[in-house]
Amino acid sequence: MTTPMLEIRDLHVRIEDEGTEILKGVNLTVPRGEVHAIMGRNGSGKSTLSYAISGREGYEITEGDVLLDGKSILDMEVDERAAAGLFLAFQYPIEIPGVATMTFLKAAMNAQRKARGEDELGTPEFMKEVRNAAAGLSIDNEMLKRALNVGFSGGEKKRAEILQMALLKPKMCILDETDSGLDIDALKVVSDGVNALRGPDRSMLVITHYQRLLNHIVPDRVHVFADGRVVESGDKDLALELESKGYAAFDGKAA
């Protein structure tokens, strides 16, 4: 059997400041090249899962393990996990005034290259890569000149996340509610961008709350998330079943 790209074993996470346990034993395996979806109510702990995998401060792992390509990443810093091939597309991308988008992209690409012992990217190559990737996502030059995410519309922010994903070429992508705040047209652009990045050596975990995204990004498997754990897994039809029956049928709570 080949090593899965992502393996989450009995993961328990609590918020450091409050002590409340949010993740209560998550088990999940994403094989190489597959796209899995996580669906769950608001507040069920989906974003917490994405932050815990990324290594965000304040999310204390009390039990369990997370393996990326067969190796535990729990002792790694946030930036080391990224350089190892993990990417999180944020539900709410952060606005950073004073940092030009291009400067940021270059710093990120070169930091990862450096961590992997590769040479820095020259400006012409960098510009070429950005232009190519940006064109596919309908991102114009004007947007790239602005400060990172500052004044970007909801759709622009999500496209900028996918642009970063395209440039950083991660092997494991976690997309946290990439569909939220998008209209139908924007949803199509973003989904096409994501689909273009699917490949045999790249896995994805698509977090969403509505089934509609999964019409565009068709998953290999669907996991239903409730109260900090996976309560049901199935093929893509599970998303449809969830849509028609509602979350209550799975987690036993009133809607």
Ligand X SMILES: Nc1ncnc2c1ncn2[C@@H]1O[C@H](COP(=O)(O)OP(=O)(O)O)[C@@H](O)[C@H]1O
- Binding interface with Mg ion (CB under 5 A): 46-47, 91
Work out the angle at residue 88's Cα, subtended by the Cα atoms of residues 69 and 222, and round it to the nearest 5 degrees: 70
| CB closer to ligand X out of 22 and 73 | 22
Structure tokens at 233: 């897994």
| CB closer to another protein out of 159 and 229 | 159
Our finding on whether 57 is near ligand X (CB under 6 A) is no
What minimum distance in Å lies between the beta carbon of 200 and another protein? 23
What minimum distance in Å lies between the beta carbon of 76 and ligand X? 21
Between the CA of residue 196 and those of 60, 163, 199, what are the distances in Å? 35, 11, 8
Our finding on whether 42 is near ligand X (CB under 6 A) is yes
Query: Tokens 């998330």 label which residue?
Result: 225
Our finding on whether 45 is near ligand X (CB under 6 A) is yes
Span from 36-44, 65-73, 97-105, 167-175 in contact with ligand X (CB under 6 A): 36-44
| CB closer to ligand X out of 48 and 164 | 48
- Confirm if 112 and 164 have CB atoms less than 8 A apart: no
What minimum distance in Å lies between the beta carbon of 162 and Mg ion? 18
| CB closer to ligand X out of 48 and 149 | 48
54 binds, among ligand X, another protein, Mg ion, none (CB under 5 to 8 A by kind): another protein
Quick one: which of 99, 93, 105, 104 has its CA closest to 152? 93
H helices of the chain, where? 46-54, 78-83, 101-115, 123-136, 141-145, 154-168, 184-196, 213-216, 237-245, 248-251
Who contacts 52 (Cβ-Cβ below 8 Å, separation ≥6)? 11, 13, 23, 59, 61, 66
Binding site for another protein (CB under 8 A): 54, 56-57, 77-79, 82-83, 87-88, 90, 93-94, 96-99, 103-104, 107-108, 111-112, 115, 147, 164, 168
Return the residue of 46, 81, 158, 202 that touches ligand X, per CB under 6 A.
46
Distance, CA of 67 to chain centre:
16
Residues that bind ligand X (CB under 6 A): 15, 18, 22, 40, 42-48, 58
